[in-house]
């Protein structure tokens, strides 16, 4: 995927040798976020783009249940969210105000990306836990086969 897939780019058509008519091509809205674009620029991973290598791969069903429940507990932990948001805001402020080189800015972006990636993975695993609970509730053991 190229970065240009996310942005507006001009289409210039020449009507005569001296006139230029510029119109803009707008890319249709997509499911991709600013974070996805940043990860593409940094050449980092994006969980949604990969179909294998998930955290829960290779675990038994009991281990998966335990992992999903732990992730749900972390996802509902207000202290963890507050710490993560504080780190993201602090790094963002530092990168915008105090960074002196593009390397420092890139490092800040990568730091923010790492924190967000961790929180997104916790959220994804938490949602899997909620799906499991819903399936267990929907399953009625007294129902006739």
- Alpha-carbon distance 11 to 40, whole Å? 24
Q: Which tokens in the block code for residue 141? A: 């053991």
What's the pLDDT at 51?
A: 52
What's the pLDDT at 97?
A: 93
What are the average pLDDT values for consecutive 10-residue runs of the chain, which has 145 residues? Answer: 45 51 53 69 63 71 93 96 96 93 91 91 92 82 62
> H or E segment at 63?
helix 61-75
Residue ranges per structural domain of the chain: 33-50+59-138
Q: How many residues does the chain have?
A: 145
């Amino acid at each position: 995927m190229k970065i240009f897939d996310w942005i507006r780019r001009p289409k210039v058509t020449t009507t005569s040798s001296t006139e230029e008519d510029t119109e803009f091509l707008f890319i249709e809205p997509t499911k991709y976020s600013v974070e996805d674009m940043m990860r593409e620029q940094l050449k980092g991973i994006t969980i949604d783009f990969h179909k294998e290598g998930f955290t829960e791969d290779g675990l038994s069903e009991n281990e998966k249940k335990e992992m999903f429940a732990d992730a749900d507990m972390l996802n509902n932990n207000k202290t963890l969210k507050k710490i993560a948001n504080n780190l993201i805001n602090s790094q963002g402020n530092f990168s915008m105000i105090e960074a002196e080189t593009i390397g420092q800015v890139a490092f800040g972006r990568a730091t923010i990306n790492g924190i967000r990636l961790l929180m997104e993975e916790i959220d994804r695993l938490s949602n899997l836990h909620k799906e499991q609970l819903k399936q267990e509730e929907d399953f009625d053991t007294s129902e006739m086969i």
